[in-house]
Amino acid sequence: MPGTFPTLRTGAVAQYPLTRAASIPVESYTFLNFARQAYRDAVAPKRTWTVALNELDSGEITTLKAFFEQQQGQYGVFTFIDPWDQTTHTNCSFSNDVFDHSQKNAETLNNTSLTIYEHA
């Protein structure tokens, strides 16, 4: 079920530090005579974001976890707005199937880190 990555109560999508990377997938073939041929496998670079979220209240972590479960981890596709340039990426997924988070300070503050990637 498509959706949009939820924002925090401040209206932000992420907190600092935020990591963003771009890579170009390359496909490579080795022939019987050991010659190699490589080519670019996508038109545009594939982007990846690592969103670290710290000291979230119970409402924020519940919203993120519900969205993660709605997407069924890596299976779902959703829209993500890049925090750097506000570009909308409509073909994104989570990189894992487990929603890892930790609670501190008597369960009032929560931390999590999510990796999101754009399909090529």
Q: What's the Cα-to-Cα distance from 32 to each of 14, 29, 36, 40, rounded to whole Å?
A: 49, 10, 9, 21
- Structural domain includes residue 40: yes
- Structural domain includes residue 112: yes
pLDDT score of 1 more than 60: no
How high is the mean pLDDT of the chain? Answer: 83
pLDDT by residue (tens digit) across 76-86?
Answer: 899 998 888 88
The answer for residues whose C-beta is within 8 angstroms of residue 111's C-beta and 6 or more apart is 52, 53, 54, 55, 56, 101, 102, 104
- Structural domain includes residue 63: yes
- Structural domain includes residue 107: yes
pLDDT by residue (tens digit) across 52-88?
Answer: 888 888 888 888 889 998 888 888 899 998 888 888 8
8: closest CA among 44, 60, 55? 60
- Structural domain includes residue 4: no
- Structural domain includes residue 2: no
Query: Which residue has better confidence, 107 or 89?
Result: 89
Q: What is the pTM of this model?
A: 0.73
Domain total for the chain? 1
- Structural domain includes residue 7: no
Token pair 């990796």 is at which residue?
115
What does the pLDDT average to over 8-16? 77
Range of the domain at 44: 18-118
Predicted confidence at residue 72, as pLDDT, reads 87
- Structural domain includes residue 11: no
